[in-house]
Amino acid sequence: MKIAMVASESNPLVKSGGLADVIYSLSRELVGMGHEVMILIPYYKGIDARLLKKPEYRGNYVFNMSWRDCCAEVFETNIDGIRFVLVKNDRYFGRDNLYGYFDDGERFAFFDMAVRGILPMLDFKPDIIHTHDWQAAMMPVLIKTENKNDPFYAKTKYVLTIHNPAFKGMLDPAALDNLYNLPYLLYKDGSTEFEGRVSTLKAGIVYSDKITTVSPTHRDELLTEEGSFGLSGVLKSREYDFCGFVNGIDVAEFNPANDKLIAKEFSAKNTVSGKKENRAALLKASFLEDSGGPLFGLVSRLTFQKGIDLVYEIMPKLLQQGAMLAVLGSGEYGLEQAFEDLRRRYPRQVSVYIGYSNKRAHEIYAASDYFLMPSSFEPCGIGQLIAQRYGTIPVVRKTGGLADTILPYNRKNADVATGISFDDYDYGGIDYATNLAMELYKDQKNFKAVRKNCLVKDNSWKKSAELYLGVYKELVG
Ligand code: GLC
């Protein structure tokens, strides 16, 4: 089968969040199962530094976005058997950041329209176009309306995966014509309309053949009014074409038994000594003194979605009880400052790394006892899966994929539990969960049992890749 993955980011070339992990590792798994996969992403400014070899120039695709004459330069490279196609236009993508510009709507309209023209140019006739989030969601709308009679796309089917429903690609209704050359009728008939504007994500939900999200629980949440970010109406109308599969992780990349980035490699056989050495190395590298209490790790985008405010509220209490904290991430300025504040107040127990370092991330996963992820919402979450793989017990809020990937400890189930969780997004919730974590840490027998359950849990992509393939096959027939 030929699958085109269309997304705004992908490992190993460009990443701002879990989306990049999913695009790459799912594609790799599909290639491993014998399928042809092409990943199409914008050629951002930062990509050159990540490319191991120069990509091949494959030509220009010239088109119009209403009054604009546009040109996409097409580059291609092969990574792990995946064809990576980079769509270049420096005016739109030659910038420092991936997102956050006033013209993001225009930038990704350009991208989708370019991809539609590039696939025929490269003679890659996809059985499936698998789009991800609002940035790529207009692909089926464009092709199903404008290329209705185009033999190239006659058999193509469309799958849309929702990774983050908080971002809906909101545009002025005039953008349909002004950016996409599409008729206003698509607004008037309601198919792209969302709360008086156009939402590319909603349009993708209406026009795709199947819709998925990244965990079964998040699928259920998206069908409720409170948990759907306004999308429950349209998703209910597609309920039978809508499913939820949890993400996996790349178990080769994240493997404590073979990880050159950490101080001491370890497996289920030498977890105690392995974790101990990694802890000592991390504390030393960040100038901390070992207080003897549990080490809480946090590797995350620092945004309100991730529950950072709860961590900030609860941490002083835990630090006073001897806990330690290692943070890596970047994001909203106020939240970055909150951690800087904790570090100033508890300089011997708290390390904060604002920014991204793959090595430091691995070190935190390997060294920590607990991994904090008290998200307000979490379609799937990847950090908790990586943490488990390194024998680090996730402490999470029970939402979305966090509910699906963690069996919460309840004092009686240390033989099967794979984390600690709480329900309510408030101080009481995080207080309950972290108290339980402190208590479990003192009970080393049960602590080690839970840690072991985490370490041996299968978080690979295999099962979910097969589920995606099942959806593709159902469509292609
Ligand atoms: C988004 C979601 C996260 C999910 C990731 C990959 O970042 O917030 O929960 O794991 O996409 O699907």
Per-residue pLDDT, averaged over 392-405, amounts to 98
**How many alpha carbons fall within 13 Å on the CB side of residue 418?**
21
Q: Count CB neighbours of 412 within 10 A.
A: 9
At 257, is the pLDDT very low, low, confident or very high (cuts 50, 70, 90)? very high
Residue 257: CA atoms inside 13 Å, Cβ hemisphere, count?
9
Residue 17 is predicted with a pLDDT of 87
Cis preceding-peptide flag for 316 (omega within 30 of 0): no
Strand order in the sheet with 420-422: 350-354, 324-331, 295-302, 370-373, 393-397, 420-422
Residue 235 has a pLDDT of: 98
**pLDDT of 98:** 96
Q: Which of 8, 164, 398 to mutate to test the pocket of ligand 1 (most atoms within 8 A of CB)?
A: 164
Position 356 pLDDT exceeds 90: no
Q: Nearest CA to 456 among 364, 404, 389?
A: 389
Residue 329 contacts residue 371 (beta carbons within 8 Å): no
C-alpha of residue 183 to centroid of ligand 1, in Å: 33
Nearest alpha carbon, ligand 1 atom 10: 381
- pLDDT confidence tier of residue 86, bands split at 50, 70 and 90: very high
Give the mean pLDDT of 120-143: 98
Q: What's the whole-number average pLDDT of the chain? A: 97
- Test site for ligand 1: of 8, 11, 16, 19, most ligand atoms within 8 A of the Cβ: 19
Residues 204-246 have pLDDT tens digits of 999 999 999 999 999 999 999 999 999 999 999 999 999 999 9
pLDDT band at 38 (very low <50, low <70, confident <90, very high): very high
State the Cα–Cα distance between residues 375 and 406, nearest whole angstrom.
14
Contacts of 169 (CB under 8 A, 6+ apart): 105, 108, 134, 135, 137, 138, 199, 200, 201
Atom of ligand 1 nearest to the CA of 382: 10
Block residue for tokens 């899966």? 385
Contact by Cβ (8 Å): 191, 207: yes
**pLDDT digits over 55-65, tens only?**
999 999 999 99
- Given a cut of 90, is residue 53 above it in pLDDT? yes
Between the CA of 133 and the centroid of ligand 1 the distance, in Å, is 10
Question: Ligand 1 center to residue 381 CA distance, Å?
Answer: 5
Cα of 213 from ligand 1 centre, angstroms: 9
Measured distance CA(229)–CA(201) in Å, rounded: 11
Report pLDDT for 473.
98
- Here the tokens at position 358 are 């793959």
Three-state secondary structure along the chain? Answer: CEEEEECCCECCCECCCHHHHHHHHHHHHHHHCCCEEEEEEECCHHHHHHCCCCCEEEEEEEEEECCEEEEEEEEEEEECCEEEEEEECHHHHCCCCCCCCCCHHHHHHHHHHHHHHHHHHCCCCCCEEEEEHHHHCCHHHHHHHHCCCCHHHCCCEEEEEECCCCCCCEECCCHHHHCCCCCCHHHHCCCCEECCEEEHHHHHHHHCCEEEECCHHHHHHHCCCCCCCCCHHHHHHCHHHEEECCCCCCCCCCCHHHCCCCCCCCCHHHHHHHHHHHHHHHHHHCCCCCCCCCEEEEEEEECHHHCHHHHHHHHHHHHHCCCEEEEEEEECHHHHHHHHHHHHHCCCCEEEEECCCHHHHHHHHHHCCEEEECCCCCCCCCHHHHHHHCCCEEEEECCHHHHHHCCECCCCCCCCCCEEEECCCCHHHHHHHHHHHHHHHHCHHHHHHHHHHHHHCCCCCHHHHHHHHHHHHHHHC
Ligand 1 probe mutation, 159, 217, 377, 380, most atoms within 8 A of CB: 380
Pick the residue whose CA is nearest to atom 7 on ligand 1: 18
Q: Which two tokens stand for residue 17?
A: 């969040």
Ligand 1 centre to CA of 401 (Å) is 9
Q: What percent of the chain has pLDDT over 70?
A: 100
For the CA of 214, the closest atom of ligand 1 is 12
261-297 confidence digits (pLDDT tens): 999 999 999 999 999 999 999 999 999 999 999 999 9
Q: Ligand 1, atom 1: nearest CA belongs to which residue?
A: 163
Q: What is the pLDDT of residues 140-149, one digit of tens each?
A: 999 999 999 9
> How many CA atoms lie less than 13 Å away from 267 in the CB half-sphere?
3
Task: Count CB-CB contacts under 10 A for residue 475.
Answer: 17
Task: Give the pLDDT confidence score for residue 116 in this predicted structure.
Answer: 98
Q: In this model, does residue 477 exceed pLDDT 90?
A: no
Q: How far is the CA of 370 from the centre of ligand 1 (A)?
A: 20
Distance from Cα 39 to the centre of ligand 1, integer Å: 18
Tokens coding 212: 């998925």
* Distance in Å, CA 104 to ligand 1 centroid: 20
Ligand 1 pocket: which residues have CB below 6 Å? 17-19, 22, 163-164, 214, 247, 378-382, 401
Distance from the alpha carbon of residue 150 to the mean position of ligand 1, in angstroms: 34
Residue 324, pLDDT score: 98
Residue range 288-335, pLDDT digits in tens: 999 999 999 999 999 999 999 999 999 999 999 999 999 999 999 999
Shortest-distance atom of ligand 1 to CA 218: 9
Q: Whose CA is nearest to atom 5 of ligand 1?
A: 18
